[in-house]
């Protein structure tokens, strides 16, 4: 897309437009009401229209002004960090926080260029013990140290 | 004098052994996490929020305030020692502070930052005690139209002060307002933007968004370029500034305090604006202005006082109007709601012990900061030196545990992950998350006040300009936008942020 001279403006505008139009479309299913008695669609429609407009302006501006290009996304790092968090969410009820923390640290650790199993396992176990002692035992947060899979 | 009896009540509340302890723990933990490179006050407060979930409202808020000051101070320490400011408010400190550290005057820089912060914090405590009650009285007179306009002004201010593209900041605010609407509409009971997911019917929790964007998003962008960081390994000595140094910082500290106290009250103000303004002022006022940028002690003491004063007086609009002026205050409002307190002008009369207790604990927190932080500096330095590849999995654990403990829901973790991706994309596109977070918390309130204002005025939108207070605030908002849109000034704004 050579005619886009300011990619950051372009993509930001694209995102705003996507969210704005999405809000506008979805708000059509709700009751608009009147200005006197605003329905659930009233405010979202206003905001959606405004956001779409901002998006359009941003996209138009991206064609007119010069900007720096967006460098490559760190997709591998993103996948590991986000994947580790999701896995934590998946495991936490069944396995409990201790095991989930170890999994979270080890998988997200893979995103580092300095990853080595032994020291990261140390951090993982240390964190698991620390959180169990401080958050669960001392502060009394209702979290399962070991989850339902272990009969708790 | 009512102010003294009020403060007495506050100190009475704060001076119980357990509250003192919570304040102390808050300050210590806040500093410990706040010194970690890349973690600013907002991220620190968000990460440590779960620590307070099991506490009663008063100790919880006392501890959170302590965490906030600690984080603020910790951030300055990192800015001085490794030139890695965690958040924009300590960017200015890094300029001269790091230069001082390179000249072997790290101790002096840290001490003058601490002394400045303490003086500023003490004065700002009085400013709050003095100005909060009358402001709350005024606020009780506000109708929905005034509140709506005030929110517009606050959001506009946060846009004007955001660094980077103005247009993108506006977009982020509107997007935040939209995210704020997700969930059950309080008036009609309609499910909005919930995609049929039951967990979403209670709305998007601001803690989830904050941890996603400031926690996960930050981590991913830090992992993008993994290079070694240089930490000053030389020993920090000569903590105490000389008499001569003290003489040099008196005026900057006082000017910074005054500036910060005023700017902190403004919607959208707070720590960042205050420190930038103070640095500019000191550079103009100082006899040694040529030293600025090369390690001028005034360039550390002034902005540090200003940002602490601003951080503290930004509690005023939060406590009296229930409107956050920056993301940390948005988190505070969220924390109050978790505790079952609706922030607003009535808090002061319905919960005087809570209100004055928080204010008194601010001074106590600042006292702990100066007493403990200088002796503990060795510990903080060790915290800074924890390599990032061990640090970020730990931060992730705190985020995950914090979000999960909100309501023991795995869905919140999924949501946090999504906002993590979104936060990373935003960083790439230079879209600032702070205005979005403000929009998120203000969204539902704004809709409600708009609804009520229109209902009371028979759907006449002119109500916002016919009522004088409301009109004034809208005019100020328009003025602020007008000023930044003027081409000559927008260039200056860019220069100011580039500095």
The pLDDT score that the predictor gives to residue B123 is 92
- Tens-place pLDDT, residues B111-139: 888 889 999 999 998 888 888 888 888 88
Q: What value does the mean pLDDT of chain B take? A: 84
**Helices and strands in chain A, H and E counts:** 5, 0
The pLDDT score that the predictor gives to residue A100 is 94
The pLDDT score that the predictor gives to residue A35 is 83
**Which residues in chain A touch residue B397, judged by CB atoms under 8 angstroms apart?**
101, 104-105, 127, 131
Question: Which pLDDT band holds residue B246 (cuts at 50, 70, 90)?
Answer: confident
Q: Kindly tell me if the per-residue pLDDT of B86 is higher than 70.
A: no
- Distance to chain A for B224, nearest Cα, Å: 6
**Which residues in chain A touch residue B461, judged by CB atoms under 8 angstroms apart?**
35
Q: Kindly tell me if the per-residue pLDDT of B5 is higher than 90.
A: no
The pLDDT score that the predictor gives to residue A25 is 93
8 A C-beta contact, residue B345 and residue B296 = no
Give the nearest partner residue to A104 out of B387, B400, B455, using CB atoms: B400
Q: Do B396 and A19 lie within an 8 Å CB cutoff?
A: no
- Tens-place pLDDT, residues B336-349: 888 888 888 888 88
8 A C-beta contact, residue B312 and residue B344 = no
Give the nearest partner residue to B429 out of A11, A97, A109, using CB atoms: A11
- Tens-place pLDDT, residues A35-49: 888 888 899 999 999
B166 CB-side CA count, 13 A: 18
The pLDDT score that the predictor gives to residue B162 is 67
Euclidean distance between CA atoms A105 and B311, whole angstroms? 34
**Which of B181, B190, B451 lies closest to A30 in space, CA to CA?**
B190
The ranges assigned to domains in chain A are 7-64, 75-150
pTM: 0.87
**Which residues in chain B touch residue A70, judged by CB atoms under 8 angstroms apart?**
428-429
State mean pLDDT over B263-291: 78
Question: Which pLDDT band holds residue B393 (cuts at 50, 70, 90)?
Answer: very high
**Which residues in chain B touch residue A143, judged by CB atoms under 8 angstroms apart?**
401, 404-405, 408
Question: Which pLDDT band holds residue B425 (cuts at 50, 70, 90)?
Answer: very high
Q: What residue ranges of chain A have pLDDT lower than 70?
A: 1-2, 152
Euclidean distance between CA atoms B87 and B427, whole angstroms? 14
Sign of CA dihedral B352, B437, B182, B140: positive
Q: Do A74 and B192 lie within an 8 Å CB cutoff?
A: no
Euclidean distance between CA atoms B62 and A112, whole angstroms? 37
The pLDDT score that the predictor gives to residue B450 is 92
* Pair of tokens at residue A106: 């080890």
Give the nearest partner residue to B171 out of A48, A58, A101, using CB atoms: A58
3-state DSSP assignment of residue B252: helix
The pLDDT score that the predictor gives to residue A53 is 96
ipTM entry? 0.93
Question: Which pLDDT band holds residue B15 (cuts at 50, 70, 90)?
Answer: confident
**Which of B222, B214, B159 lies closest to B45 in space, CA to CA?**
B214
**Which of B64, B67, B70, B62 lies closest to B114 in space, CA to CA?**
B70
């Amino acid at each position: 897309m050579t005619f886009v001279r300011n990619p950051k403006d372009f993509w930001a505008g694209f995102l705003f437009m996507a969210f704005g139009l999405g809000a506008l479309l979805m708000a059509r299913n709700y009751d608009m009401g009147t200005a006197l008695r605003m329905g659930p669609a009233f405010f979202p429609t206003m905001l959606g229209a405004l956001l779409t407009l901002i998006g359009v302006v941003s996209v138009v501006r991206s064609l007119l002004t010069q900007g720096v290009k967006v460098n490559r996304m760190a997709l591998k790092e993103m996948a590991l960090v986000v994947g580790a968090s999701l896995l934590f969410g998946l495991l936490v009820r069944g396995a409990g926080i201790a095991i989930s923390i170890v999994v979270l640290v080890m998988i997200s650790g893979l995103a580092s260029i300095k990853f080595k199993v032994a020291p990261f396992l140390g951090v993982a176990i240390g964190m698991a013990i620390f959180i169990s002692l401080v958050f669960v035992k001392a502060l009394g947060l209702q979290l399962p140290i070991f989850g339902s899979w272990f009969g708790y | 004098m009512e102010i003294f009896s009020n403060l007495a009540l506050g100190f009475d509340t704060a001076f119980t052994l357990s509250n003192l302890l919570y304040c102390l723990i808050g300050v210590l933990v806040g500093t410990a996490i706040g010194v970690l490179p890349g973690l600013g006050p907002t991220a620190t407060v968000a990460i440590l929020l779960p620590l307070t979930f099991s506490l009663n409202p008063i100790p919880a808020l006392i501890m959170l305030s302590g965490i906030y000051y600690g984080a603020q101070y910790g951030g300055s320490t990192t800015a001085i020692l490794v030139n890695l400011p965690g958040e924009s408010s300590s960017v200015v400190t890094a300029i001269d502070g790091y230069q001082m550290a390179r000249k072997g005057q790290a101790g002096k820089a840290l001490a003058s930052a601490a002394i400045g912060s303490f003086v500023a914090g003490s004065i700002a405590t009085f400013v709050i005690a003095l100005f909060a009650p009358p402001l709350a009285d005024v606020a009780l007179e506000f109708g929905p139209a005034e509140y709506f306009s005030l929110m517009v002004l606050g959001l506009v201010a946060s846009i004007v002060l955001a660094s980077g593209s103005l247009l993108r900041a506006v977009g982020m605010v509107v997007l935040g307002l939209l995210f704020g609407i997700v969930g059950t509409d309080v008036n009609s009971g309609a499910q909005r933007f919930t995609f049929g997911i039951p967990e979403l019917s209670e709305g998007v929790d601001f803690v989830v968004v904050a941890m996603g964007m400031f926690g996960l998003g930050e981590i991913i962008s830090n992992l993008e370029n993994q290079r070694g960081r240089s930490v000053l390994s030389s020993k920090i000595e000569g903590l105490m500034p000389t008499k001569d140094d003290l003489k040099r910082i008196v005026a900057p500290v006082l000017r910074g305090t005054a500036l910060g106290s005023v700017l902190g009250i403004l919607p959208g103000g707070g720590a960042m604006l205050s420190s930038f303004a103070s640095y500019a002022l000191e550079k103009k006022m100082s006899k040694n202005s040529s030293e600025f940028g090369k390690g001028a002690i005034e360039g550390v003491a002034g902005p540090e006082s200003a940002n602490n004063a601003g951080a503290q007086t930004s509690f005023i609009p939060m406590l009296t109007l229930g409107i956050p002026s920056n993301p940390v205050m948005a988190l505070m409002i969220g924390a109050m709601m978790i505790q079952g307190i609706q922030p607003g002008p009535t808090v002061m009369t319905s919960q005087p012990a809570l209100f004055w207790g928080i204010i008194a604990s601010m001074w106590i927190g600042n006292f702990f900061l100066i007493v403990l932080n200088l002796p503990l500096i060795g510990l903080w330095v060790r915290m800074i030196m924890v390599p990032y590849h061990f640090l970020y999995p730990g931060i992730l654990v705190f985020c995950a545990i914090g979000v999960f403990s909100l309501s023991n829901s795995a869905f919140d973790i999924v949501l946090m992950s999504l906002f993590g991706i979104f936060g990373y994309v935003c960083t790439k596109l230079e879209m600032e998350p702070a205005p979005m977070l403000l929009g998120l918390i203000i969204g539902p309130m704004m809709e409600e006040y708009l609804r009520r204002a229109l209902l009371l005025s028979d759907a006449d939108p002119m109500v916002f300009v016919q009522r004088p207070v409301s009109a004034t605030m809208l005019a100020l908002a328009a003025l602020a936008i007008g000023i930044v849109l003027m081409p000559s000034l927008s260039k200056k704004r860019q220069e100011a942020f580039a500095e």
